[in-house]
Amino acid sequence: MQLLRITSQPIKYELSVEPARLEFANVPKNPQGTVHRQPTQMDIRTKDIEVRLDTTEMRASLNLRSVGSWIELFANRGMQKGRAAIGEAVQTGNKMAQIDDGVTVAQIAQQKMMERASFETYTTFIPSAGVQTDWDPATVNLDYQPGSVQTEWQIEQNVMNYVPGKFHIEVLQYPKIEIEYLGEPVYVPASAAPGYES
């Protein structure tokens, strides 16, 4: 005869699982660019030819002089005449010093008169001097600055949030074991049992 009855109750639970996921917090738009353009520039600077004509010498050959030029001319002529007069005086003195060689003062005076009476002829063209020409050539300066293009890009980044997974367990019924004794109690000593008959 079976004296024990064992009853077991299994555990009962519910599982809920939420998987991990990525959430986009910011969906990027297409890249945007800003273009800065500097146009090409060319700067051209020109300088015309410069011609300088100096007619001072030509006008002087025609006796068309300025007041300053006349003063300079007469001053030079006066110096030349003064030097020539000193030279003639020296030569006359030297000749007079040779009187002892048979040269008389009358001969010296006659020779001087003959020198003054003589003259020279020459042919000249007027104006005898030309125009002095001086010139600076024409110039062209180029200043070229090439154009440029600069692009600034605005690129948005992906912004994602990571949501971790969740695991939830709920116990609905805990396990248990019930042991039930089916027999009668055993008293020790046996005389302690109710209804004991000897």
| Residue of 38 and 31 predicted with greater confidence | 38
As a whole number, mean pLDDT of residues 119-142 equals 81
Q: Are β-strands 21-26 and 159-163 bridged in parallel, bridged antiparallel, or unpaired? A: antiparallel
Note the pLDDT tens digit of each residue in 46-98. 999 999 988 888 888 777 778 888 888 889 889 998 888 888 888 877 777 77
Say which amino acid occupies 53: L
Q: What percent of the chain has pLDDT over 90?
A: 19
Q: Give the pLDDT score at 141.
A: 92
* Helix, strand, or coil (residue 85): helix
Say which amino acid occupies 4: L
Q: Decide: 142 and 51 in contact? Cβ < 8 Å.
A: no
As a whole number, mean pLDDT of residues 164-184 equals 88
**CA nearest neighbour of 69 among 80, 55, 82:** 55
Q: What is the CA radius of gyration of the chain?
A: 71
